Amino acid sequence: MRVRKLTLAAMALAAGLSLTACQNDDGTDETSAPPAASAPSSSDGGSGSTGSDQAGGQDSAGKTPNGTGGANGTGEDGEAAAKCRTDELEITATDATVGGDTEGTVAVDLKNGGGRACTLAGYAGVDLTTNTGTLSAERTGEQAPPIVLKDGENVTFGITYPINDTGGSGVRITGLVVTPPNETKSVTLDWPGGASLPASDSPGSPVKVGPMGSAGQGG
């Protein structure tokens, strides 16, 4: 009888342990399920809102200033992007030689009278008509950034040439031909500088032309 009671007690104890283990397993599964379900929710929320918002903010911060700046720049430049036409410019030339200079200087002024803003970029074409033919000026090689002229504004560039102090007649200058940058139509002006250039057999032109703004700019 005692052996049976012990066997029944052992079986009851084993059944109780087995039931406890099953309950613990179920409890573990139930308690671990919510974190597993909530983790994707937190992760999705973080990447979906914070990450996208930050990326969007960076894109906006990067694109908006550049875009706005580019748009404004294009707008402003767009208004003045068209080149200045010869017919829109009032072109004059004056003697700008200062006493004691080793070279003569002529200042050529271009005033915008076209009723709109326009752009002059680079060098004008400069030719001197002489008794021996046409003499083209060579560029000085200085930087020539674009210059935007509003209606009524002007810009000046310089022409330099050797002064004829040889005592001879030299090369007699009869006129000045100016062609605005990127234009084909020219304007012929009286030459306001020295009457002649010294005769020379040196290659190249002794007359030099500077870029727009090289002789000062006024309004």
* CA–CA distance, 180 with 212 (Å, rounded to integer): 10
CA 210 to chain CA centroid, nearest Å: 23
Query: Strand 147-149 and strand 89-95: pairing?
Result: unpaired
pLDDT at residue 169, as a whole number? 86
Task: Compute φ and ψ for 178, nearest 5 degrees.
Answer: -120, 130
pLDDT at residue 126, as a whole number? 98
- Rounded to the nearest 10°, the torsion over CA 113, 116, 122, 127 is -30
* Contact (CB, 8 A) for 113 and 150: no
pLDDT at residue 144, as a whole number? 87
CA 202 to chain CA centroid, nearest Å: 41
pLDDT at residue 3, as a whole number? 43
Is 197 strand, coil or helix? strand
Mean pLDDT split into 10-residue runs, the chain, 219 residues: 45 47 46 43 38 34 28 37 93 94 95 96 97 96 93 97 90 97 97 94 91 71
pTM of the model: 0.63
* CA–CA distance, 192 with 106 (Å, rounded to integer): 7
3-state helix, strand, coil in the chain (%, to 5): 35, 30, 35
